[in-house]
């Protein structure tokens, strides 16, 4: 009998119920009890959704983040919230977001903990704060209450916790101490927790250790052995869960830890499964993650069965089946997507459908394929249709791809020659000023876009309204005296969605929300087919903006790597190929902009860094195709055309050579919070082209002073010749208000003037 289970269910709710309940509580519009009731209902509903499984997760639900939940379970709260009043959930929200519902500004306004990306996903967790003085004390109330709730509902529940090594690895020490020194203090708390769960009747506990798919120092590998020898108990069975990648050099370690079961992501670690089976002791459970928890395509059930059947014959009841990872990373239910055409919908599978696939697979294994004949046939029809669909495969795109040659990636002349021509063409002063693209997305702008989307505003009125917005931002920039202007991006809802909507090969869901952090969700567009740009996407707006000014107007595009990394992508071809297709589409747009007389074109690659694979050994390959895609997109232009790129992050040290390889004439980056320290990377490496280090922290409502901006620019000028420096904000201004933006940019321009006069 193959057993089915799930590692985690999307907790935000099919209609984002949790988001709305949280935001209402935070605004003081509803009570804590009401919020808790929504949580309880969602858990109950989600267990009902999973009722066909042999084991459902408990503890995967959270009001903000599962890592922060673990910090609470382990009693690891930052000192600064210890004595604050209210429910423990209030302190929880203070750590998560700086404030809870009842807090007035400045009253309990505390510093939120840092937030960062969960492995290579777009989910962000709250970083545990650790120091040499950290002590851990068990608070099992949340987990035990939820476990009790599940038991009362008759759910066969498997508590889920984050393992001690992954917990420490995710945490940050402020005092640079060795995190592993905390392990002896941490383990007794885990032991107590397991004992409590056992006492309450838990049979299995899922203990997540995804760091086993990353490169680990020998000290961390040894710590695994130490930790699991300590945690090993006869009272409760442990299912050690790894996901997101291959085990590689940690494979033997993972197989030999004294736990009763091991979960492996059989999609990412497909080739390793025979070795895992060989190394795993014969009394251990092997859980195979065979349904993709990170993407939205239907599983090919027959192909999966072909592969699973011999494994099932060998392992029998020791074989468990699951999604590859928690379903947190996919939307809930494809059947709500009434606006997607039926053909496309028939290729997709969201969380509920994925769980159903698991049930079909286990039934086919346990009772023979004939017992699931209809389900398997329907699945096969959809899989076969997608494989040959003309909506997916476009011969013209394949031909264009085959024609890509190295020349397409190269500018005509090296940067030094281009720079002369561009200076001649653009006649910019020293320390030229510019912004990153967007101007405030006011209520009015959003209202216009909504009316248009709902069909309540016709196209020509929409165009007029948008032109007014563009004219406003051009007017403001001229008054401010900026040197290179932007049109302001009023027409864009989102920097990826905007382009996806205009490309063939992309589809959009209505409710395909995926949690990004806390109550925030994103709705990644779905790249399903070969990419075609049927017509220019941005040219008319930029041309209009250029017609209003004699200053150079920047064309504004999102780069291929960023579009790819923020989408659900195809699983029937390598990411690199999908990225090349996007690169060709953006290249056409770049050339159209150039032909329309646009002399400066910015191609944002905000998400290039976050696509880095989990293992460093694979970085090189990723960076090669990612940089190549950018070059294909950008480098078809004449020498005189100036290419900018923008990246809104500041860790460059480890990828600086690849950044330089992109060969953009100008790169603007986020730096203002780090006092220009990050420029050290550019300095050590001797970055050859122009740089605009951000001098205005756009994540803060504060207005930078002229002195501060001059200070930052002088720091920059110590490392990079002034002739190659630009003056600009950290990122786009879309989330700020005009009242903040105008004085801030005024100071920025004034600072640039002063800097020029000092040279």
Where do contacts with Zn ion occur on this chain (CB under 5 A)?
A: 648, 731
Q: How far is the CB of 629 from Zn ion (least distance, A)?
A: 19
CA separation for the pair 22, 36 (Å, rounded): 10
Separation between Cα atoms, residue 449 and residue 443, nearest integer Å: 10
CB-closest chain residue to Zn ion: 648
Instruction: Count other Cβ atoms within 10 Å, centred on residue 46.
Output: 26
Q: What are phi and psi of 57, to 5 degrees?
A: -75, 145
Q: Answer yes or no: 699 catalytic.
A: yes
**Least CB distance to Zn ion at residue 450 (A):** 25
Q: How far is the CB of 449 from Zn ion (least distance, A)?
A: 21
Name the residue nearer to Zn ion (CB basis): 376 or 648.
648
Nearer to Zn ion, 349 or 438 (CB): 438
- Give 490 or 648: the residue with its C-beta nearer to Zn ion: 648
Q: Give the nearer residue to Zn ion in terms of CB position, either 211 or 731.
A: 731
CA neighbours closer than 13 Å in the CB half-sphere of residue 165: 26
Nearer residue to Zn ion within complex by CB, 146 or 740: 740
Residue 428, CA distances (Å) to 423, 433, 757, 759 in order: 7, 9, 15, 15
Q: Strand ranges (DSSP E) for 421-519?
A: 504-507, 514-517
Compute the least distance from the CB of residue 699 to Zn ion, in Å: 10
Contact criterion met (CB below 8 Å) for 353 and 298: yes
CB closer to Zn ion, 265 vs 670: 670
**371-to-171, 365, 367, 452 alpha-carbon distances in Å:** 48, 9, 6, 50
334: CB partners within 8 A, 6+ apart = 296, 340, 345, 348, 349, 350, 352, 353
Query: Residue 521 forms beta bridges with which residues?
Result: 515
**Ranges of H-type helices in 371-440:** 373-388, 395-402, 415-426
Min separation Cβ 595 and Zn ion, Å? 27
Question: Tokens 């090993």 correspond to what residue?
Answer: 232
User: Alpha-carbon distance 666 to 645, whole Å?
Assistant: 6
Element (DSSP H or E) covering residue 1: none
Rounded Cα distance, 688 and 666, in Å? 10
User: Could you give the dihedral angle defined by the CA atoms of residues 576, 581, 586 and 592, in that order, rounded to the nearest 10 degrees?
Assistant: 150
Structure tokens at 404: 């890509």
Q: How far is the CB of 520 from Zn ion (least distance, A)?
A: 17
Measured CA distances, 283 to 1, 261, 270, 698 (Å): 15, 9, 22, 56
Output the CA angle 510-515-519, nearest 5 degrees.
100
* C-beta closer to Zn ion: residue 280 or 681: 681
Residue 332 or 648: which CB sits closer to Zn ion? 648
Instruction: Indicate the residue among 204 and 652 with the shorter CB distance to Zn ion.
Output: 652
Q: Which is nearer to Zn ion, 143 or 681 (CB)?
A: 681
Residue 363 to residues 110, 115, 359, Cα–Cα distance (Å): 52, 41, 6
Residues 593/539, Cβ–Cβ less than 8 Å:
yes
In total, the chain counts a number of residues equal to 759
- Least distance in Å: CB of 704 to Zn ion? 17
Catalytic residue of the set 312, 317, 699, 753: 699
At which residue do the structure tokens 């002088």 appear? 714
Q: Find the shortest distance in angstroms from Cβ 217 to Zn ion.
A: 33
- On the 0-12 / 13-18 / 19+ scale of CB atoms within 10 A, 382 is buried
Torsion sign (Cα): 577, 581, 587, 593: negative
Whole-angstrom Cα Rg for the chain:
27
For the bound state, the minimum distance from the C-beta of residue 731 to Zn ion, rounded and expressed in Å, comes to 3
CB of 653 to Zn ion, least distance (A): 19
Helix/strand/coil for 129: strand
Indicate which residues carry an active-site annotation.
Answer: 699
């Amino acid at each position: 009998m193959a057993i089915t289970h799930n590692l985690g269910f999307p907790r935000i709710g099919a209609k984002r119920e949790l988001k709305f309940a949280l935001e209402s509580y935070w605004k003081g519009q509803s009570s804590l009890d009401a919020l808790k009731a929504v949580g309880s209902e969602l858990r109950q509903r989600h267990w009902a959704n999973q009722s066909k499984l042999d084991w459902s997760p408990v503890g995967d639900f959270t009001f903000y983040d599962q890592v922060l939940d673990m910090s609470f379970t382990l009693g690891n709260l930052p000192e600064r919230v210890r004595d604050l009043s209210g429910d423990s959930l209030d302190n929880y929200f203070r750590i998560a977001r700086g404030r809870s519902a009842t807090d007035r500004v400045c009253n309990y306004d505390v510093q939120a903990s840092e937030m960062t990306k969960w492995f290579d996903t777009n989910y962000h967790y709250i970083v545990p704060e650790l120091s040499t003085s950290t002590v851990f004390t068990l608070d099992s109330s949340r987990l035990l209450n939820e476990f009790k709730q599940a038991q009362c509902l008759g759910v066969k529940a498997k508590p889920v916790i984050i393992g001690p090594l992954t917990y420490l690895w995710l945490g940050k020490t402020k005092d640079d101490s060795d995190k592993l020194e905390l392990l002896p203090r941490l383990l007794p708390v885990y032991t107590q927790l397991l004992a409590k769960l056992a006492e309450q009747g838990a049979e299995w506990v899922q203990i997540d250790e995804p760091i086993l798919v990353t490169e680990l120092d020998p000290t961390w590998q040894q710590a695994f052995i130490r930790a699991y020898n300590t945690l090993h108990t006869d009272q409760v069975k442990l299912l050690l869960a790894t996901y997101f990648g291959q085990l590689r050099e940690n494979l033997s370690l993972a197989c030999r830890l004294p736990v009763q079961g091991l979960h492996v992501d059989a999609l990412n670690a497909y080739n390793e499964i025979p070795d895992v089976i060989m190394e795993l002791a014969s009394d251990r459970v092997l859980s195979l993650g065979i349904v993709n928890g990170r993407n939205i395509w239907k599983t090919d059930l027959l192909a999966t069965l072909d592969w699973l059947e011999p494994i099932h014959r060998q392992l029998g009841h020791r074989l468990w089946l699951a999604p590859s990872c928690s379903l947190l990373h996919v939307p809930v239910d494809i059947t709500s997507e009434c606006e997607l055409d039926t053909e496309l919908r028939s290729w997709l599978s969201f969380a509920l459908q994925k769980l159903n696939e698991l049930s079909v697979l286990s039934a086919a294994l346990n009772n023979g394929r004939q017992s699931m004949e209809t389900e398997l046939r329907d699945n096969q029809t959809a899989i076969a249709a997608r494989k040959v669909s003309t909506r997916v495969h476009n011969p013209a795109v394949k031909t264009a791809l085959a024609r890509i040659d190295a020349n397409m990636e190269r500018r005509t002349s090296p940067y030094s020659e281009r720079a002369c021509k561009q200076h001649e063409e653009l006649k910019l002063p020293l320390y030229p000023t510019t912004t990153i693209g967007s101007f405030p997305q006011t209520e009015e702008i959003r209202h216009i876009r909504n009316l248009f989307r709902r069909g309540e505003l016709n196209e020509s009125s929409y165009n007029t309204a948008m032109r007014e917005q563009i004219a406003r931002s051009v007017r403001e920039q001229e008054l401010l005296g900026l040197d290179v202007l932007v049109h302001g991006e009023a027409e864009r809802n989102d920097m990826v969605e905007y382009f996806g909507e205009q490309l063939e090969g992309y589809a959009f869901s209505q409710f395909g929300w995926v949690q990004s952090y806390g109550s925030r969700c994103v709705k990644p567009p779905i790249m399903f087919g070969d990419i075609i740009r049927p017509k220019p996407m941005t040219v008319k707006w930029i041309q209009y903006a250029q017609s209003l000014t004699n200053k150079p107007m920047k064309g504004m595009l999102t780069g291929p790597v960023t579009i790819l990394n923020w989408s659900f992508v195809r699983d029937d071809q390598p990411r690199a190929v999908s990225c090349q297709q996007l690169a060709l589409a953006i290249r056409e747009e770049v050339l159209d902009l150039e032909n329309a007389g646009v002399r400066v074109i910015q191609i944002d690659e905000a998400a290039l860094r976050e696509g880095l694979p989990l293992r460093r050994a694979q970085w090189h390959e990723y960076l090669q195709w990612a940089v190549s895609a950018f070059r294909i997109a950008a480098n078809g232009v004449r020498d005189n055309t100036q290419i900018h790129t923008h990246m809104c992050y500041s860790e460059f040290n480890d990828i600086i050579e690849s950044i330089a390889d992109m060969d953009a004439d100008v790169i603007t980056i986020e730096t203002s919070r780090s006092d220009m320290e990050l420029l050290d990377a550019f300095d050590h490496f001797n970055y050859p082209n122009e740089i605009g280090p951000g001098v205005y922290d756009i994540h803060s409502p504060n207005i930078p002073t002229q002195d501060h901006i001059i200070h930052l620019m002088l720091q920059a000028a110590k490392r990079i010749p002034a002739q190659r420096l630009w003056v600009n904000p950290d990122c786009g201004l879309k989330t700020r208000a005009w009242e903040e933006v105008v004085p801030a940019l005024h100071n920025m321009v004034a600072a640039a003037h002063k800097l020029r006069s000092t040279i």
